[in-house]
Structure 1
Amino acid sequence: MKIVHIISGLGLGGAETLLLNLVSESRSAGGTHVIISLSSLDIMAERLRAAGAEVRLLGMRPGIPNPLLLIRLARWIVKANPDVVQTWMYHADIFGGVAALLARLMFRLRGQRHRFVLVWGIHRTEVPTAKVGRVLNALARIGAMTSNQLPDSVICCANASYKTHAEYGYDRSRMRVIHNGFDVRKFVPDATARATLLNSLGLPPRSILIGIVGRSNPAKDYDNFLRAAALLHQRVPECHFVMVGKDVDANNKALARMMSELGLTRVCHLLGARNDLHRIMPAFDMLCLSSRTEGLPTVVGEAMACSVPCVVTDVGDTGQLVGDTGLVVPPRDPVSLSDALEEMATLSLEQREKLGKLARERIVECFSITVCWQKYRDMYATLLRAKGVTR
C-alpha cells in the first residue's frame, strides 16, 4: 500500500510524532510512504527519511496559497500514484483536498483512472474560534462545509474531537475515531534513569521528580501547573519539577518571573526542547499534564509506556487514556491539580510502581502504535474495496 501524507509542517508535535511512528511500524507490512510538508519546516524530515519515507518540502508561505504550488502538489500526487492520500490537520486537509481534486482531474485528462482515497486528519479537540486564529477558523469552516464531498473519510484522534467537529458541521457519516498509538519499544521502563537525572540536576535521592512535557503555549497551561506546584511545594517540599519542551528554558522570561513570584525558582528545572524524552521520562516519579485542551496527548501515552503514573487534566480523551492507572482532575483548577499531585507524591514507592506497571500494560494492550497502524490499515483497505481496489 502506497500512502502520500500531506502535513502542514514537520516540526516537533504530537501529529508529527504519530506520523513517524506509523511510518516506522508499517515498514514490516510493506507500506511505502511519501510525506509532503506544505511548509519548509523540516525538523522531523531526517528522522522520517531514516524510517524509510520519501520526504518533500513544498515551501508554501503563510497566507493565501500560491496556485502554482497547489498545481505542483497535485503533480506530486499524480507522480506518486498512491493508494491513499492522508492529510494531517486543517491546512493540509483543505489544501491537500484541493490538490487531490486537481490530481484526479489530471489523471482523467491523461485517460487514466484514479483510485486513490482521500482521508482527512483532525488532531485537536476544540474547533478553533476566530479569536484563536482567523485562518484556522476559516479552514475549519471550509472543512465542515466540504466534508461531505472532498474526503472519503475523516479521522479524529479522540472521541472528544469527533464530538466537537460533528457538532460544528463535519459530516458524521464520514467520521471515525482512531486513537493515537505509542511506541512501546522505544518508550520503556529504565531502572537507571532516575539516578542519572538526579545526578545531572544535583538532587538528593529522596527527591520526588514531577515531570511536565510540552511547549510553552497557553494550551499547555503552565500557569496552572506552576500555581499547583507552589501549593504542593509548601506541603511536600521534597518535590522537584522537571519541565521539558520548546521554549521551556532559561530564556523564557514569563516563566522565570512566575517561578520567582511563586518561590519555585530552586525547585523548577527547565530543560528546554529535548530529543531524548525516552531516556528522561522513565526518571519521573510521575508525569503531570496541566493542559486546557488536548486530543489524545502523546506525552501521557509515552510516560505511561515508561511505567510512569500520570496526573492529568480532564481534557479531550486524556481521562480515557489514563483510565484507573492515574488521577484525573478538572482543567484550570490548580487546587485540584495540587491535591492530586500530593496524593500521588505521598503514595509509597510500591504503590506508584504498581500504578506504573498497570499504565504500561494499558498502553501495550490498547494504545500501542501496532494497534493504531492496524486500525489505519484496515480503514484504508475498507475504503479501497469500496472503490473496487483490493490491497
Structure 2
Amino acid sequence: MRVLHIVNDAETGGAQTLIEQLMLARPEGDDAHLLILMGQGALSPRLEAAATSTAYVGMTRRDVVPLRAMRALRRLVAEHGIQVVHSHLQQSDLVNEVTPHGARRVATLHNSLHLAQKPVTRVTWWLAAQASARLDAVVACSNSALGFAAESHYRFGTEHIRVVHNGTRISPVPAPEPSGPPVFVHLGRCVEQKDHPTLFRAFARVLAEHPDARLFCAGHLVDPGNEALTIELETLGIGQAVTLLGSVSDVHALIRTAHAVVFASNHEALPMAGLEALSEGVPVITTDTGDAKLLAVDPQAVVPVRDPEALGRAMNRFVDLPAAERGEWRRRSWELGRTEFDSRGTARRYRELYEELTDGS
C-alpha cells in the first residue's frame, strides 16, 4: 500500500502525532509519504524519520488558493504511484479535495467545533466542507468530531463517516511517579480553545495550597515571547512557578516528568496529548469538553469548562491523594491507554479502510 499523508504544518499537534503513529505502525512493505503544506517545524525530525519521504510546500496560513500545494501533490502521486491520499485538518483537506490527482481520497476530522476566527481560515473551512463530497472516505477521531461535521454542513454524508479513535504507542510499563514537588504538564498550542487563562487561574489556586508545585506548558507559540501569556502570569503572580517551553519534539520525555497532565480546553475533540499521557501511565485531569472525559480514570478528574476554581480544586485533590492511590491512578491510566488507544489498533483500522477503497490492491 502506498499512502501519502497531507498536513498543514510540522508543529506539535494531534494530527501530526497521529500521522507519525500511522507511519510507524504501517505493515512492512507499505510506503507512507508525507506532504507538509508549510515549512519545517518542531516535529520535522520525527516525522521525517517515520516517513518514506517528506516534502514541504512552503505555504503560509494566509494562503487560500493552494496552487503550489496542488502542483506538489500531483507530482508526488505520480512519482510514487500513490494509491491513497490521506489529509488531516481543513487546509490539507481542501488541497486533497480539489486536486485532480487520481488516487483515493481520505480525510480525518480532528475538530469538535468550528472555531475558525480569521477570515482566511473561515473561508478555507467553508470550502473544505463544501468540497467534501469529493472525498472517498471521512474518519472522525471521536464522536464529538463527528458532530463537528454535521454542524459544519459537510457535503460528505455524516451517516457514512466512521469513528476511529486516535492511538499511540504504549510504554511496556507505566512510568514511575516522579519524586519531588508536584509537577503538572499542559500540552496545547496557543489558541483560544486551549484556554490558557483558565489553566493559569486554576494553577494559582494550586500554588495557594502547594507553593512548591510547578507547571510546564508546551505548544506552538506557548513560549516566553508570547506577551499575552507572560502578562497573564505576571498579573496572577505565578510566573516563577510556570515554565513556557514552546514547541517540544520529545513530548513523552516531558510527560514522564509530570505527576499529572492537565487540560483546560473549552472545546476539544479527543486530545492526542492525553493519549500520550495515558501511554506513559500519567493521569489526566481535564475539562468536560468533547470526548476528553474518556481519558480520565476518575470522575473527580473531570470538571466543567471555563471554571478555574473547579479545575484548581481537582488538581489540589489529586496532589493530596495518598501516594498509593496516585500510583493506582497511574496503573489504571496506563491500562486504559493499552486497552483503548493502542496505535496498532488504530493503524489496523485505517489499513483496512485503505484496502476497502483500493480493493486490496
> TM-score, normalization: structure 2?
0.91
Structure 1 match to 2:264: 290
SS in 2 for 1:363: helix
Aligned to 1:36: 35
Distance 1:166 1:219, change over 3 A: same
Are the counterparts in 1 of residues 37 and 56 from structure 2 also a CA contact under 8 Å? yes
Aligned counterpart, 2:152 = 168
Q: Which residue of 1 aligns with 2:303?
A: 329
Residue of structure 1 in register with 2:245 after alignment: 271
CA contact (8 A) 2:12 2:219 kept: no
Aligned CA distance change for structure 1 residues 287 and 59 (closer, same or farther; 3 Å): closer
CA apart distance, 1:357 = 0.6
Offset at residue 150 of structure 1 (A): 0.2
What amino acid is aligned across from residue 101 of structure 2 in structure 1? A
Q: Whole-Å Cα distance in 2 between the matches of residues 103 and 163 of structure 1? A: 29
Residue aligning to 2:119: 134
Which residue does 1:351 correspond to in 2? 325
1:143 is matched with which residue: 123, 128, 143? Answer: 128
Q: State yes or no: 1:125 paired with 2:125.
A: no
Task: Indicate the SS of the match to 1:127.
Answer: coil
1:147-202 deviation digits (Å, cap 9, x = unpaired): 2x30011111121010121233222133111111112149x6443x834xxxxxxx
1:225 alignment partner in structure 2? 199
| Greater RCO, CA 8 A, separation 6+ | 2
Unaligned 5+ residue runs, structure 1? 105-115, 196-204
Change (3 A) 1:143 1:249: closer
Instruction: Tell me if the contact between 1:6 and 1:36 (Cα under 8 Å) persists in the aligned partners.
Output: yes
Q: 1:165 and 1:313 mapped to 2: Cα distance?
A: 22
**For residue 8 of structure 1, what is the aligned residue in structure 2?**
8
After TM superposition, the structure 1 = structure 2 runs for residues 230-269 of structure 1, keeping only pairs within 5 Å, are 230-269=204-243
User: CA, structure 1 residues 33+137, in 2 after alignment: closer, same or farther (shift >3 Å)?
Assistant: same
Please give the residue correspondences for 1:42-57 in structure 2 after superposition, counting only pairs within 5 Å.
42-57=41-56
Measure, in 2, the Cα distance between the counterparts of 1:11 and 1:5.
15
Q: CA deviation at 1:378?
A: 1.4
Structure-2 change in CA distance of 1:214 and 1:235 (3 Å) = same
CA shift, 1:380, in A, is 1.6
Displacement of 1:12 after TM fit? 2.3
Please state how far the C-alpha of 1:66 moved relative to its aligned partner: 5.5
Q: Deviations over 1:43-94 (max 9, x none)?
A: 4343233224211123334324264652442232233222211111111111
Provide closer, same or farther for how the CA distance between residues 168 and 43 of structure 1 changes in structure 2, counting only shifts above 3 A.
same
Deviation string for 1:271-312 (max 9, x for gaps)?
343323322212211111111222211221111221111110
Q: What is the rounded CA distance, in whole Å, between the counterparts of 1:248 and 1:60 in structure 2? A: 22
CA pair 56-303 structure 1, distance change in 2 beyond 3 A: same
User: Does the CA-based 8 Å contact 1:128-1:136 persist in structure 2?
Assistant: no
Establish whether residue 213 from structure 1 lines up as the match of residue 187 from structure 2. yes
Would you say the 8 A contact 2:175–2:282 is kept in 1? no
Q: Which residue of 1 aligns with 2:92?
A: 92
Secondary structure in structure 1 of the residue aligned to 2:101: helix
Asked whether the equivalents of residues 45 and 55 of structure 1 are also in contact (C-alpha less than 8 Å), the reply is no
Query: Would the alpha carbon gap of residues 339 and 66 (structure 1) be closer, same or farther in structure 2, given more than 3 Å must change?
Result: closer
Question: After the TM superposition, which segments of 4 or more aligned residues of structure 1 sit over 6 Å from their partners?
Answer: none
Corresponding letter in the other structure for 1:145: Q
Aligned to 1:390: 360
Structure-2 residue corresponding to 1:301 = 275
Write the distance in 1 (CA, Å) between the matches of 2:245 and 2:128.
38
What is the root-mean-square deviation in Å for CA atoms of aligned residues?
2.3
The answer on whether the counterparts of 2:43 and 2:249 sit within 8 Å (CA) in structure 1 is no
The residue number in structure 1 matching 2:312 is 338
User: How many pairs were matched up?
Assistant: 358
CA contact (8 A) 2:184 2:214 kept: yes
The change in CA–CA distance for 1:262 and 1:95 in structure 2 (over 3 A counts) is same
Aligned-residue identity in percent: 26
- After TM superposition, give the deviation of residue 8 of structure 1 in Å: 1.8
1:369 to 324, 343, 350: 343
* 8 A Cα contact 1:309 1:325, kept in partner: no
Moved more, 338-347 or 33-42: 33-42
User: So what's the TM-score if we normalise by structure 1?
Assistant: 0.84
Alpha-carbon offset, residue 228 of structure 1:
1.0
> Which of 296-305 and 137-146 deviates more?
137-146
- What do the CA deviations read for 1:254-283 (whole angstroms, capped 9, x no partner)? 333322322323322333433233222122
Aligned mates of 2:326, 2:51 — CA distance in 1: 38
Alpha-carbon contact 1:325-1:359 (below 8 Å) kept: no
Counterpart amino acid of residue 126 in structure 1: L
- The CA distance in 2 between the partners of 1:249 and 1:138, in whole Å, is 29
Asked if the contact 2:266–2:305 (Cα under 8 Å) also holds between the matched residues in 1, the reply is yes
8 Å CA contact 1:4–1:80 kept in 2: the answer is no
Which secondary structure does the structure 2 equivalent of 1:103 belong to? coil
